[in-house]
């Protein structure tokens, strides 16, 4: 604003200078420049257009509108034009950016159209027309008669009550909300945001014995505007009822001639609890020990009181009270005048000494003491934990205070194995467990604990536990057992091999095919042709009828050769052939017979000989091939005959040609096993 004033001052000075200088100019030109200057000055100083119009309706009070800018350089008059229905009126204000229409010239509910006009000596400006629904902009007062109080007996809560706020239209309803904070805090928290009809509201979840500041605001249901916040009200939540009794003691005065005496009672609260309210007062009851029905009551706010008692023994009880409850009772016995103060043996007493200055009581010093000590009435209860191969932890519980009958100074741990000596270890009374070490593995131990006082000790109940076996021993035992079983199995196997039956099952004998004799073939010419594959049977050579050794496994080969050989004998008609009974090389083992294969065998040099075995003897008297019918008849009439010993050739005398070594057959020498009974007989026995 100051800059504008300086600008216009400089502008006027320069303008006057120009006018003075222009006096020498043409009068018409001078008038034109003066008019332009005045025109620019007028346009620059007219009021700014009113904007940001805002209106609030206060029921039965006023309707007030405000706008911006807040202040002009020159004196400005504002006129607010209100139109509602067919009515048009206005209000005026000078240099103030607000204007009000007052009751009773207000209608509710209604719609007002508002236009603001700003005017000064240089000109005027008008705002845009705005429209206002009064039920949307009605604003009421904060609630009245706000109170905040705790409910007796209810913790963590304050109850809030209030009265209906002023300015609520008769036809409208309203709602309220509250906020609260702790007195020593600046952070507000919102509570329920829809409180209606002046119903009390319980604010819960508060801390014990704390002061809270609470404030409320309200609004008409149809309005968008809340009232201002009400003044704060302070409330204190309930605290805890006293949960500890007073520390109470007495001072006995001298006995009077009539037996009466004065007893001064002193007490002190045990400890300050922040959740317990301040004490309101103290109640005292006292009565003769033998007359409980005669009871007198006194009240005081001090922490001491004098009683005038007779010579008999009395019981005195003192409690203190707060807003939240009454403390537990503190009871004291006043002995009779001629009574000694008798202490019960084996019972623990608390003895406290309080420093005093006048009536002020300081912090006491307390100790425990026994008038007479004895042996505990029971021993500690113990058990074993963390048991391993060589260690175990023995843990026991303290003896209840009422059964100690004296101060426990130490504990003694006794333990022994079933076959060993007993050991004892003593530990301090503050120790309630002990780890036993260097124990024997897989051994049972018996343990008991003795609690000791100055008068003696008391054993607890003994119990047993057993250490675990060492893993190394388990592994070693397993290894020894496994090794023994393995050795025993080997020994049994070796022994069983000496028996023929078991030996045959475990290690069967493999016969030498070189010594196998089934059929002897005669006539070298036939043998040579047979070996060369030149013998023709039904138009086929012999080697075509004999399967190739390399096409089969060793066992299949031998079976196939035997079958083909039998087919050969059945289907081939050879004139003059004397079919002899097959020489069998039988190995008799426990009633069973094994017949050697009539085919391949190994020579002593390791080479394989192919062809029929030397044990096959066949007499060939011609090469004419007879018919199959004749061969069948001759075969039925002929009997098998055993060859002479001179006709059996040894392996080294066999006239076979050496064939190339077949690596498959070299390692596949197989014996076909034919099981025959002892009663086996030739189907065509030789006639005597």
Q: pLDDT tens digits, residue range 574-628?
A: 444 443 444 444 444 444 444 444 444 444 444 444 444 434 334 333 444 444 4
pLDDT at residue 620, as a whole number: 37
Do residues 344 and 424 make contact, with C-beta atoms less than 8 angstroms apart?
no
Contact 417, 445 (CB under 8 A): yes
Q: How far apart are CA 2 and CA 10, in angstroms?
A: 12
Residue with tokens 């099981």: 675
pLDDT at 435 (0 to 100): 92
> What is the pLDDT at residue 563?
47
d(CA 317, CA 142): 53
Instruction: Please provide residue 265's backbone torsions phi and psi, each rounded to the nearest 5 degrees.
Output: -95, 135
Query: What stretches in the chain show pLDDT beneath 70?
Result: 1-43, 271, 359, 496-509, 512-688
Which pLDDT score is estimated for 41? Answer: 55
The tokens for 24 are 């020498």
**Burial of residue 396, with CB atoms counted within 10 A of its CB: 0-12 exposed, 13-18 middle, 19 or more buried:** buried
**Nearest of 160, 173, 174 to residue 216 by alpha carbon:** 160
**What pLDDT was estimated at residue 339?**
82
Whole-angstrom distance, CA of residue 680 vs CA of residue 592 = 11
Within a 13 Å sphere around the CA of 442, how many CA atoms are in the beta-carbon half?
6
- Asked if 657 and 606 touch (Cβ cutoff 8 Å), the reply is no
pLDDT at 502: 59
Q: How would you classify residue 299: left for phi > 0, otherwise alpha for psi between -120 and 50, otherwise beta?
A: beta
Tell me what pLDDT residue 133 has: 96
Alpha helices in 82-140 (DSSP H): 134-137
**Across 378-495, where does the E strand assignment appear?**
382-385, 392-396, 410-417, 422-428, 433-436, 444-453, 456-459, 463-466
DSSP classification of residue 645: G
pLDDT at 206: 93
Measured distance CA(599)–CA(558) in Å, rounded: 7
CA distance 344 to 342: 7
Q: Are 333 and 361 in contact, with CB atoms under 8 Å apart? A: no
Q: Whole-angstrom Cα distance, residue 612 to residue 598?
A: 7
How does pLDDT run across 111-155, given as a tens digit for each residue? 999 999 999 998 999 999 999 999 999 999 999 999 999 988 888
Distance between CA atoms of residues 552 and 660, nearest Å: 17
pTM above 0.85, yes or no: no
Residues 111, 294: Cα–Cα separation, whole Å:
83
In this structure, what DSSP letter does residue 240 have? B
Of 150, 132, 152, which Cα lies nearest the Cα of 211? 150
Backbone angles phi, psi at 213, to 5 degrees: -100, 135
pLDDT at site 192: 80
Taking a C-beta distance cutoff of 8 angstroms, is the pair 69, 47 a contact? no
Asked if 153 and 239 touch (Cβ cutoff 8 Å), the reply is: no
Query: Dmax over Cα atoms in the chain, in whole Å?
Result: 190
pLDDT computed for residue 247 by the predictor: 86
């Amino acid at each position: 604003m100051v800059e504008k004033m300086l600008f216009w001052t400089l502008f006027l000075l320069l303008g006057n200078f120009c006018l003075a200088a222009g006096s020498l100019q043409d009068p018409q030109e001078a008038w034109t420049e003066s008019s332009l200057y005045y025109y620019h000055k007028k346009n620059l100083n007219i009021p700014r257009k009113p904007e940001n119009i805002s209106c609030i309706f206060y029921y039965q009070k006023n309707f007030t509108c405000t706008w911006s800018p807040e202040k002009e350089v020159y004196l400005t008059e504002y006129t607010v034009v209100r139109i509602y229905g067919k009515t048009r009126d206005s209000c005026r204000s000078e240099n103030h950016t607000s204007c009000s229409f007052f009751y009773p010239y207000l209608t509710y509910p209604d719609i007002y159209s508002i236009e603001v006009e700003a005017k000064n000596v240089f000109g005027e400006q008008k705002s845009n027309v705005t429209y206002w629904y009064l039920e949307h902009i009605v604003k009421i007062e904060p609630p009245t008669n706000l109170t905040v109080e705790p409910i007796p007996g209810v913790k963590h809560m304050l109850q809030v009550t209030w009265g209906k706020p002023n300015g609520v239209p008769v036809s409208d309803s309203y709602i309220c909300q509250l906020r609260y904070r702790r007195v020593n805090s600046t952070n507000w928290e919102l509570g329920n945001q829809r409180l209606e009809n002046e119903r009390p509201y319980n604010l819960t979840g508060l801390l014990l014995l704390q002061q809270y500041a609470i404030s409320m605001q309200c609004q008409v249901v149809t309005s968008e505007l809340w009232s201002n916040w009400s003044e704060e009200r302070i409330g204190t939540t309930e605290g805890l009822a006293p949960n500890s009794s007073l520390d109470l003691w007495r001072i006995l005065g001298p006995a009077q001639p009539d037996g009466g005496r004065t007893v001064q009672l002193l007490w002190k609260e045990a400890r300050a609890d922040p959740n317990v309210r301040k004490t309101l007062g103290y109640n005292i009851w006292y009565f003769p020990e033998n007359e409980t029905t005669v009871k007198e009551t006194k009240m005081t706010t001090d922490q001491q009181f004098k009683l005038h008692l007779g010579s008999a023994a009395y019981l005195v009880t003192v409690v203190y009270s707060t807003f939240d409850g009454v403390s537990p009772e503190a009871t004291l016995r006043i002995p009779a005048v001629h009574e000694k103060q008798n202490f019960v043996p084996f019972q623990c007493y608390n003895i406290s000494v309080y420093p005093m200055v006048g009536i002020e009581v300081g912090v006491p010093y307390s100790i425990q003491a026994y008038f007479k000590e004895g042996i505990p009435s029971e021993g500690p209860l113990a058990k074993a934990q963390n048991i391993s191969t060589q260690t175990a932890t023995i843990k026991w519980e303290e003896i209840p205070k009422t059964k100690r009958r004296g101060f426990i100074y130490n504990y003694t741990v006794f333990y022994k194995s079933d076959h060993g000596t007993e050991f004892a270890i003593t530990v301090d009374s503050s120790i309630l467990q002990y780890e036993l070490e260097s124990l024997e593995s897989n051994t049972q131990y018996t343990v008991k604990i003795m609690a000791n006082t100055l008068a003696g000790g008391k054993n607890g109940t003994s119990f047993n536990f057993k250490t675990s076996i060492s893993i190394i021993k388990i592994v070693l035992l397993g290894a020894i057992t496994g090794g023994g079983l393995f050795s025993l199995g080997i020994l049994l196997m070796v022994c069983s091999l000496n028996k023929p039956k078991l030996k045959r099952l475990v290690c069967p004998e493999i016969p030498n095919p070189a010594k196998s004799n089934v059929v002897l073939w005669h006539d070298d010419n036939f043998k040579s042709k047979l070996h060369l594959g030149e013998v023709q049977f039904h138009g086929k050579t012999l080697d075509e009828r004999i399967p190739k050794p390399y096409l089969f496994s060793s066992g299949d080969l031998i079976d196939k050769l035997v079958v083909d050989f039998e087919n050969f004998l059945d289907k081939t008609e050879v004139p003059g052939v004397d079919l002899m009974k097959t020489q069998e090389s039988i190995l008799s083992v426990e009633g069973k017979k094994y017949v050697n294969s009539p085919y391949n065998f190994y020579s002593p040099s390791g080479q394989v000989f192919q062809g029929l075995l030397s044990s096959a003897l066949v007499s060939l008297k011609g090469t004419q091939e007879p018919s199959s019918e004749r061969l069948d008849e001759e075969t039925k009439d002929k009997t098998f005959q055993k060859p002479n010993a001179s006709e059996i050739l040894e392996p080294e005398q066999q006239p076979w040609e050496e064939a190339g070594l077949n690596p498959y057959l070299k390692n596949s020498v197989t014996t076909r096993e034919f099981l025959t009974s002892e009663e086996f007989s030739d189907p065509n026995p030789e006639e005597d």
